[in-house]
Amino acid sequence: MTEIIVPATSANMGPGFDSLGLSVNLFLKIKIGPKSDQWFVHHPFGKEVPSDEQNMIVLSALTVDPNIHPREIFVRSDIPLARGLGSSSSAIVGGLLLGNTLSGSVELSKQQILDRAVKIEGHPDNVAPAIFGGIVIGGPNPIKDDDFWTYQTDSPKNYVPIAVIPHRQLATSASRSALPKVLDRHIAIKVSAQSNLLVASIFKQDWQKTCQLLEVDQFHEPYRLKLVPELKIVRSICHAHNIFGSYLSGAGTTIMIMTKKDQADLLLDQLKKSPSLADCDIAALAFDSLGSRILA
Protein backbone atom coordinates (compact mmCIF):
# COMPACT_ATOMS: atom_id res chain seq x y z
CA MET A 1 0.00 0.00 0.00
CA THR A 2 1.57 3.29 -1.11
CA GLU A 3 2.27 5.67 1.78
CA ILE A 4 2.89 9.42 1.71
CA ILE A 5 4.92 10.88 4.58
CA VAL A 6 5.01 14.60 5.39
CA PRO A 7 6.96 16.09 8.33
CA ALA A 8 5.74 18.66 10.82
CA THR A 9 7.18 22.13 10.47
CA SER A 10 8.12 24.99 12.76
CA ALA A 11 7.77 28.34 11.01
CA ASN A 12 8.20 32.03 11.85
CA MET A 13 11.72 31.32 13.06
CA GLY A 14 12.67 34.49 14.91
CA PRO A 15 12.16 37.54 12.68
CA GLY A 16 11.76 35.30 9.62
CA PHE A 17 8.01 35.95 9.72
CA ASP A 18 6.03 34.06 7.04
CA SER A 19 9.28 33.15 5.27
CA LEU A 20 11.55 30.94 7.39
CA GLY A 21 10.85 27.47 8.75
CA LEU A 22 12.28 24.03 9.48
CA SER A 23 11.00 20.48 9.54
CA VAL A 24 10.98 18.10 12.50
CA ASN A 25 10.34 14.39 13.08
CA LEU A 26 6.61 14.41 13.73
CA PHE A 27 4.79 13.03 10.71
CA LEU A 28 1.52 12.92 8.82
CA LYS A 29 1.23 9.55 7.09
CA ILE A 30 -1.30 8.85 4.36
CA LYS A 31 -1.84 5.31 3.06
CA ILE A 32 -3.68 5.03 -0.23
CA GLY A 33 -6.45 2.43 -0.06
CA PRO A 34 -8.72 0.93 -2.70
CA LYS A 35 -10.96 2.75 -5.15
CA SER A 36 -14.38 3.59 -3.78
CA ASP A 37 -17.72 5.09 -4.79
CA GLN A 38 -16.82 8.19 -2.77
CA TRP A 39 -13.90 9.60 -0.84
CA PHE A 40 -13.52 8.31 2.68
CA VAL A 41 -10.72 9.46 4.95
CA HIS A 42 -10.02 7.29 7.99
CA HIS A 43 -8.33 9.63 10.48
CA PRO A 44 -7.88 10.07 14.27
CA PHE A 45 -9.00 13.69 14.58
CA GLY A 46 -12.64 13.33 15.56
CA LYS A 47 -15.86 14.63 14.03
CA GLU A 48 -14.63 18.22 13.66
CA VAL A 49 -12.37 17.11 10.77
CA PRO A 50 -14.28 15.95 7.65
CA SER A 51 -13.95 12.34 6.56
CA ASP A 52 -15.20 12.86 3.01
CA GLU A 53 -14.27 14.96 -0.02
CA GLN A 54 -14.29 18.08 2.20
CA ASN A 55 -11.19 16.87 4.03
CA MET A 56 -8.22 19.18 3.36
CA ILE A 57 -6.15 16.28 2.03
CA VAL A 58 -8.76 15.41 -0.57
CA LEU A 59 -9.50 19.06 -1.44
CA SER A 60 -5.80 19.60 -2.10
CA ALA A 61 -5.52 16.40 -4.15
CA LEU A 62 -8.40 17.49 -6.37
CA THR A 63 -6.66 20.77 -7.20
CA VAL A 64 -4.05 18.64 -8.98
CA ASP A 65 -6.61 16.65 -10.95
CA PRO A 66 -10.36 16.98 -10.31
CA ASN A 67 -10.97 13.73 -12.21
CA ILE A 68 -9.14 11.46 -9.76
CA HIS A 69 -11.26 8.44 -8.90
CA PRO A 70 -12.35 8.47 -5.23
CA ARG A 71 -10.41 6.32 -2.80
CA GLU A 72 -10.33 5.24 0.76
CA ILE A 73 -7.30 6.74 2.47
CA PHE A 74 -5.91 5.96 5.89
CA VAL A 75 -4.34 8.77 7.89
CA ARG A 76 -2.11 8.68 10.95
CA SER A 77 -0.46 11.74 12.46
CA ASP A 78 1.89 12.73 15.27
CA ILE A 79 1.27 16.42 14.48
CA PRO A 80 -1.12 18.09 16.94
CA LEU A 81 -3.82 20.22 15.36
CA ALA A 82 -3.73 24.03 15.61
CA ARG A 83 -0.56 24.19 17.74
CA GLY A 84 1.86 25.93 15.37
CA LEU A 85 3.48 22.78 13.97
CA GLY A 86 2.11 22.94 10.45
CA SER A 87 -0.79 20.49 10.72
CA SER A 88 -2.75 22.21 7.94
CA SER A 89 0.36 22.57 5.77
CA SER A 90 1.15 18.88 6.12
CA ALA A 91 -2.41 18.08 5.00
CA ILE A 92 -2.06 20.40 1.99
CA VAL A 93 1.31 18.99 0.94
CA GLY A 94 0.13 15.43 1.58
CA GLY A 95 -2.96 16.06 -0.51
CA LEU A 96 -0.97 17.51 -3.40
CA LEU A 97 1.31 14.48 -3.34
CA LEU A 98 -1.76 12.24 -3.22
CA GLY A 99 -3.20 13.97 -6.28
CA ASN A 100 0.14 13.77 -8.07
CA THR A 101 0.37 10.05 -7.31
CA LEU A 102 -3.17 9.15 -8.37
CA SER A 103 -3.50 11.34 -11.44
CA GLY A 104 -3.04 9.66 -14.78
CA SER A 105 -2.60 12.93 -16.65
CA VAL A 106 -0.70 15.33 -14.34
CA GLU A 107 2.86 15.02 -13.07
CA LEU A 108 4.02 17.95 -10.93
CA SER A 109 7.60 18.75 -9.99
CA LYS A 110 8.47 19.65 -6.40
CA GLN A 111 8.61 23.32 -7.43
CA GLN A 112 5.10 23.11 -8.89
CA ILE A 113 3.87 21.37 -5.75
CA LEU A 114 5.40 24.21 -3.72
CA ASP A 115 3.72 26.87 -5.86
CA ARG A 116 0.34 25.17 -5.50
CA ALA A 117 0.81 24.65 -1.76
CA VAL A 118 1.66 28.32 -1.23
CA LYS A 119 -1.37 29.34 -3.26
CA ILE A 120 -3.56 27.31 -0.90
CA GLU A 121 -1.73 28.14 2.35
CA GLY A 122 -0.86 31.77 1.61
CA HIS A 123 2.87 31.76 2.39
CA PRO A 124 5.82 29.34 2.12
CA ASP A 125 7.22 29.15 5.66
CA ASN A 126 5.46 25.89 6.55
CA VAL A 127 4.84 24.19 3.22
CA ALA A 128 8.41 24.66 1.91
CA PRO A 129 10.20 22.76 4.72
CA ALA A 130 7.41 20.18 4.65
CA ILE A 131 8.29 19.53 1.00
CA PHE A 132 12.07 19.92 1.02
CA GLY A 133 13.12 19.18 4.63
CA GLY A 134 15.84 20.98 6.58
CA ILE A 135 15.67 24.76 7.01
CA VAL A 136 14.03 26.65 4.16
CA ILE A 137 13.84 30.37 3.40
CA GLY A 138 11.07 31.21 0.96
CA GLY A 139 9.38 34.20 -0.61
CA PRO A 140 7.60 35.46 -3.73
CA ASN A 141 9.40 35.78 -7.04
CA PRO A 142 9.63 39.56 -7.62
CA ILE A 143 9.13 39.28 -11.39
CA LYS A 144 6.58 36.49 -11.71
CA ASP A 145 3.28 36.23 -9.89
CA ASP A 146 2.30 32.92 -8.24
CA ASP A 147 5.90 31.74 -8.24
CA PHE A 148 8.11 31.35 -5.18
CA TRP A 149 11.83 31.13 -4.62
CA THR A 150 13.24 28.93 -1.89
CA TYR A 151 16.69 28.24 -0.51
CA GLN A 152 17.17 25.09 1.54
CA THR A 153 20.01 24.22 3.88
CA ASP A 154 20.70 21.47 6.38
CA SER A 155 19.74 21.76 10.02
CA PRO A 156 22.54 21.87 12.64
CA LYS A 157 24.00 18.50 13.58
CA ASN A 158 25.05 19.44 17.13
CA TYR A 159 21.72 20.98 18.10
CA VAL A 160 18.34 19.53 18.94
CA PRO A 161 14.86 21.07 18.74
CA ILE A 162 12.89 20.97 21.98
CA ALA A 163 9.15 21.58 21.71
CA VAL A 164 6.93 22.92 24.48
CA ILE A 165 3.38 22.23 23.30
CA PRO A 166 0.53 23.65 25.41
CA HIS A 167 -2.50 21.41 25.39
CA ARG A 168 -4.86 24.08 24.09
CA GLN A 169 -5.36 24.80 20.41
CA LEU A 170 -4.97 28.22 18.82
CA ALA A 171 -6.42 28.83 15.38
CA THR A 172 -4.14 30.72 13.01
CA SER A 173 -6.98 33.14 12.23
CA ALA A 174 -7.34 34.05 15.92
CA SER A 175 -3.59 34.45 16.28
CA ARG A 176 -3.42 36.60 13.14
CA SER A 177 -6.09 38.92 14.49
CA ALA A 178 -3.77 39.86 17.37
CA LEU A 179 -1.26 41.43 14.98
CA PRO A 180 -1.17 45.18 14.31
CA LYS A 181 -2.16 46.48 10.88
CA VAL A 182 0.77 48.94 10.90
CA LEU A 183 4.31 48.58 12.24
CA ASP A 184 6.58 51.47 13.21
CA ARG A 185 9.12 52.10 10.43
CA HIS A 186 12.11 52.17 12.78
CA ILE A 187 11.12 48.82 14.29
CA ALA A 188 10.55 47.33 10.84
CA ILE A 189 13.99 48.47 9.62
CA LYS A 190 15.75 47.10 12.70
CA VAL A 191 14.02 43.73 12.64
CA SER A 192 14.43 43.38 8.87
CA ALA A 193 18.17 43.85 9.33
CA GLN A 194 18.17 41.24 12.09
CA SER A 195 16.24 38.88 9.83
CA ASN A 196 18.94 39.31 7.19
CA LEU A 197 21.57 38.50 9.81
CA LEU A 198 19.59 35.42 10.86
CA VAL A 199 19.57 34.06 7.31
CA ALA A 200 23.28 34.83 6.92
CA SER A 201 24.11 33.07 10.20
CA ILE A 202 22.16 29.99 9.12
CA PHE A 203 24.00 29.70 5.81
CA LYS A 204 27.34 30.37 7.49
CA GLN A 205 26.39 27.71 10.09
CA ASP A 206 27.07 30.14 12.91
CA TRP A 207 24.50 28.45 15.10
CA GLN A 208 25.37 30.36 18.25
CA LYS A 209 24.40 33.64 16.58
CA THR A 210 21.40 31.93 14.97
CA CYS A 211 20.07 31.02 18.41
CA GLN A 212 20.51 34.59 19.66
CA LEU A 213 18.77 36.01 16.58
CA LEU A 214 15.84 33.62 16.97
CA GLU A 215 14.78 35.66 20.00
CA VAL A 216 14.67 39.19 18.52
CA ASP A 217 11.37 39.10 16.61
CA GLN A 218 9.09 42.12 16.82
CA PHE A 219 6.86 41.30 13.88
CA HIS A 220 4.54 38.96 15.76
CA GLU A 221 5.77 37.61 19.14
CA PRO A 222 5.12 40.74 21.26
CA TYR A 223 1.51 40.82 20.08
CA ARG A 224 0.86 37.11 20.65
CA LEU A 225 2.32 36.91 24.17
CA LYS A 226 -1.13 37.38 25.66
CA LEU A 227 -2.28 34.31 23.71
CA VAL A 228 0.81 32.23 24.53
CA PRO A 229 2.16 33.38 27.91
CA GLU A 230 4.23 30.21 28.10
CA LEU A 231 6.76 31.79 25.73
CA LYS A 232 7.93 34.23 28.40
CA ILE A 233 8.18 31.42 30.96
CA VAL A 234 10.16 29.16 28.62
CA ARG A 235 12.54 31.95 27.66
CA SER A 236 13.15 32.84 31.29
CA ILE A 237 14.04 29.23 32.13
CA CYS A 238 16.36 29.05 29.12
CA HIS A 239 18.14 32.30 29.99
CA ALA A 240 18.64 31.20 33.59
CA HIS A 241 20.93 28.52 32.14
CA ASN A 242 22.45 30.75 29.45
CA ILE A 243 20.51 28.99 26.71
CA PHE A 244 19.17 30.96 23.74
CA GLY A 245 17.17 29.87 20.72
CA SER A 246 13.49 29.94 21.76
CA TYR A 247 10.75 31.27 19.49
CA LEU A 248 7.01 31.03 18.98
CA SER A 249 6.47 28.30 16.42
CA GLY A 250 4.13 29.40 13.66
CA ALA A 251 1.08 31.11 15.11
CA GLY A 252 1.48 29.18 18.39
CA THR A 253 0.82 27.68 20.82
CA THR A 254 4.02 25.64 20.52
CA ILE A 255 7.32 27.16 21.62
CA MET A 256 10.37 25.72 19.86
CA ILE A 257 13.89 25.88 21.28
CA MET A 258 17.04 25.15 19.29
CA THR A 259 19.65 24.09 21.83
CA LYS A 260 22.99 22.30 21.90
CA LYS A 261 22.71 18.56 22.36
CA ASP A 262 24.84 18.62 25.50
CA GLN A 263 22.41 21.10 27.11
CA ALA A 264 19.21 19.33 26.09
CA ASP A 265 18.81 17.02 29.10
CA LEU A 266 19.33 19.85 31.58
CA LEU A 267 16.84 22.07 29.78
CA LEU A 268 14.25 19.32 29.48
CA ASP A 269 14.53 18.65 33.21
CA GLN A 270 14.11 22.32 34.10
CA LEU A 271 11.16 22.82 31.76
CA LYS A 272 9.37 19.74 33.09
CA LYS A 273 9.88 20.89 36.67
CA SER A 274 8.14 24.22 36.06
CA PRO A 275 4.59 24.27 37.53
CA SER A 276 3.68 26.95 34.98
CA LEU A 277 4.28 24.45 32.17
CA ALA A 278 2.39 21.55 33.75
CA ASP A 279 -0.29 21.78 31.05
CA CYS A 280 2.23 21.25 28.25
CA ASP A 281 3.81 18.35 26.43
CA ILE A 282 7.58 18.86 26.51
CA ALA A 283 9.83 16.75 24.31
CA ALA A 284 13.13 16.68 22.50
CA LEU A 285 12.53 16.14 18.80
CA ALA A 286 14.92 15.74 15.87
CA PHE A 287 15.37 17.78 12.73
CA ASP A 288 14.02 16.17 9.57
CA SER A 289 16.26 16.43 6.52
CA LEU A 290 14.21 14.49 3.98
CA GLY A 291 10.98 16.44 3.69
CA SER A 292 7.96 14.76 2.13
CA ARG A 293 8.42 11.37 0.54
CA ILE A 294 6.46 8.50 -0.94
CA LEU A 295 6.98 4.86 0.00
CA ALA A 296 5.71 2.33 -2.51
90 labeled part of a ligand binding site:
yes
Instruction: Give 24's strand partners.
Output: 8, 287
Distance, CA of 57 to CA of 108 (rounded, Å): 17
DSSP three-state, residue 273? helix
DSSP three-state, residue 257? strand
H helix count then E strand count, the chain: 10, 11
34 labeled part of a ligand binding site:
no
DSSP three-state, residue 42? strand
Phi, psi of 67, rounded to the nearest 5 degrees: -100, 10
89 labeled part of a ligand binding site:
yes
- Within 10 Å of residue 261's Cβ, how many Cβ atoms? 12
87 labeled part of a ligand binding site:
yes
82 labeled part of a ligand binding site:
yes
80 labeled part of a ligand binding site:
yes
86 labeled part of a ligand binding site:
yes
97 labeled part of a ligand binding site:
no
84 labeled part of a ligand binding site:
yes
Instruction: Give per-residue burial for 176-191: e unless 16+ CB within 10 Å, then b.
Output: eebeeeeeeeeeeeeb
Binding residues for ATP, by number, are: 80-90
Binding residues, by number, are: 80-90
